[in-house]
Amino acid sequence: MSFSRTSARRENRSWPALFFAFALLTTPCLAQSQSSYFDAVDTDHDGRVSLPEFLDRMSWAFRQMDRNADQVLSPDEQLVPNAPTLTLAEHHRRLAEQFRRQDKNKDGWLSPREFLAPPA
């Protein structure tokens, strides 16, 4: 099967969103209130989420799916048929981009409002 360059780019852009959605849906804190969810990610309880805290929490699903713990999600470890191989480093790069987009005031931290806003 052959894909055009445009569809490949579209697929590449949608992958982080799908993975992020999967991470949120499979996170045990989802049933808790938004405030409790923020508190669960804000592990040092300073009222803001740092990039390391964000990466750790948003990588939960990756770690669960990485059955052989090699920091690489092979196609057979993923829920999306024929998904490309994804390394933890690439996943973190994409999450860092998401973090920067959500950090609306560009202070390097996510406030509760920024963190709980839908990803752009």
Q: Can you give the residue ranges of every domain in the chain?
A: 5-116
Cα angle 105, 106, 108 (rounded to 5 degrees) comes to 120
Identify the CATH homologous superfamily for domain 5-116: EF-hand (1.10.238.10)
pLDDT in tens, 37-48: 999 999 999 999
What are the residues facing 86 on neighbouring strands?
73
Q: What is the pTM of this model?
A: 0.70
Long-range pairs of 38-47 with CB within 8 A, sequence gap ≥ 24: 38/112, 38/115, 38/116, 41/115, 47/111, 47/112
| pLDDT level of residue 11 (50, 70, 90 thresholds) | very low
**Which SS3 state, helix, strand or coil, does residue 96 take?**
helix
In the structure, what pLDDT confidence band is assigned to residue 14 with cuts at 50, 70 and 90? very low
Query: Do the Cβ atoms of 84 and 75 come closer than 8 Å?
Result: yes
> How confident is the model over 91-119, as a mean pLDDT?
95
